[in-house]
Structure 1
Amino acid sequence: MLQASLFAVGDPGVDQTTTAERIHLDERSWVDLYRCAVRGTNDTLEKLCAQPGWMSGTRQMYDRMVTDPREMKWFRAGATDPHPLLIEVRRWLESLYTTQLSTEVQFGGVALNHYRSGNDSVTWHRDRELRHPDQSLVAILTMGAQRPFRIRRFGGGPSIDCSPASGDVVVMGGACQMEWEHAVPKVGRAIGPRLSASWRWAPDNSHLRFNEDGYFTSRAWRPTAS
């Protein structure tokens, strides 16, 4: 069972009065943090994790095959988001950034990443499908356990930790996916599950250039054990 906070329980919904704390990474890249923006995330996590269709990816690394230490599920653009709360969050963010950027923002499909315990993780990476140099958005809703979410300049160096809690939203914008990278490292203690829902947008529609199922072409995908 999840250790529930007061905000993570209750009826799912978005607090649309929440304002962002903006971190300027450099003159072209920024991160917006919306703390306690979404209610009812623990119940939503449990329902989403109970749904079938979770996949794990395996890729070649040097002379061996390595399985990604997390589960993933993808709903391509045009498909129905798998929970009403995710629809509400997406519409809220689209409205916010359409106003801020003075251009219509419509996210692509939603990706769900399930970190089952502190042993699951994702290494340093960029969302490289987003190629627009000045404007792109990656929005991530966290549900479940609070754990590190680190951002650093591409190639190495010191990092910042956004440490989103259940119901927090992180939005990486500007040239963040060109010049910065992010990671969810392993946690060396007992910790509950974390589920993230992420949406992507770029004005050149590079966020729509996926395979039909949205999974990385460098991996072989198979269903995880239920």
Structure 2
Amino acid sequence: MALHLQTSLFDQADEITVRPLDGVRREQLGDGAWIDVLPQWLQGADALFEALVRDVAWRAEERVMYERVVAVPRLLAFFGRRDPLPHPALETVRTALGAHYGAELGEPFTTAGLCLYRDGRDGVAWHGDTGGRGSTEDTMVAILSLGAPRHLTLRPRRPGPVPVRRPLGHGDLIVMGGSCQRTWEHAVPKTARAVGPRISVQFRPDGVR
């Protein structure tokens, strides 16, 4: 797959490593929802991006919308609890997240969903990860962003709290926790601007999609 990534001037690491998570900052969103953000958590993120683009068996999906079949505007891959992750660095990431959030979450992160946004025509519409226990229980979804920055936007399901917009890419981490999946929605909007490719790696516990 031929994708051109403008590499980050701030990440020229030869090895792929994660920094300590003690620098993560929590922002309370309201209604029991919160996000943790740590820019440039993963060093060597551009190298990992290139490896995943090359080695993952990306698939295109279709879905029915308004009585017609349309292409999902991104490429996808999913790795369940028993599936080997496509790069050793993702095992390191999942282990680090589990060590930091395990006590608060009460269970481990077990699955990894990958989305490849090839350019600004790819995106994901407003949604919450409510395909499982996230519809009724507080949980966490940790997202590692690789490649060119794209905006992740969050908005409350009820009027009141102010929407949130965060540019994420080149090894940035965001964790959505508390009631975030039930009381807020998130999206990666499409854009007419010239933007490079991005991979989102979403780590979730069992039964949350």
TM-score of the superposed pair, with normalisation by structure 2: 0.89
SS at match of 1:90: helix
SS at match of 1:182: strand
Distance 1:131 1:122 in 2: 18
Structure 1 residue 17: deviation in Å? 5.0
Structure-1 residue corresponding to 2:139: 136
Listed as ranges, the gaps of 5+ residues in structure 1 are 211-226
SS at match of 2:37: strand
Letter in 1 for 2:180: C
* Contact 1:7 1:40 (8 Å CA) reproduced: no
Structure-2 residue corresponding to 1:187: 191
Structure-1 residue corresponding to 2:128: 126
Distance 1:92 1:206 in 2: 21
- Report how many residues are paired: 203
Q: How does 1:1-226 map to 2 (within 5 A)?
A: 1-10=4-13, 11-99=15-103, 101=104, 104-128=106-130, 129-131=132-134, 133=136, 135-154=138-157, 159-201=163-205, 205-207=206-208
Change in 2 beyond 3 A, CA 1:17/1:122: closer
SS at match of 2:69: strand
Structure 1 residue 138: deviation in Å? 0.3
* Contact 2:121 2:191 (8 Å CA) reproduced: yes
Distance 1:161 1:150 in 2: 4
Spell out, residue by residue over 1:149-174, the C-alpha distance to the aligned partner (whole angstroms, 9 max, x if none): 00011267852112113111000000
* Contact 2:31 2:179 (8 Å CA) reproduced: no
* Contact 1:18 1:37 (8 Å CA) reproduced: no
Structure 1 residue 144: deviation in Å? 0.5
Spell out, residue by residue over 1:165-189, the C-alpha distance to the aligned partner (whole angstroms, 9 max, x if none): 3111000000111111100001221
Distance 1:6 1:98 in 2: 33
Identical amino acids, percent of aligned pairs: 35
Spell out, residue by residue over 1:115-153, the C-alpha distance to the aligned partner (whole angstroms, 9 max, x if none): 001110000011012337453000000000111100011
Distance 1:147 1:49 in 2: 17
Structure 1 residue 9: deviation in Å? 3.2
TM-score of the superposed pair, with normalisation by structure 1: 0.83
Structure 1 residue 22: deviation in Å? 1.0
Distance 2:166 2:56 in 1: 30
Distance 1:182 1:124 in 2: 5
Distance 1:85 1:8 in 2: 16
* Contact 1:154 1:179 (8 Å CA) reproduced: yes
Distance 1:131 1:43 in 2: 32
Spell out, residue by residue over 1:192-224, the C-alpha distance to the aligned partner (whole angstroms, 9 max, x if none): 1000111112xxx533xx7xxxxxxxxxxxxxx
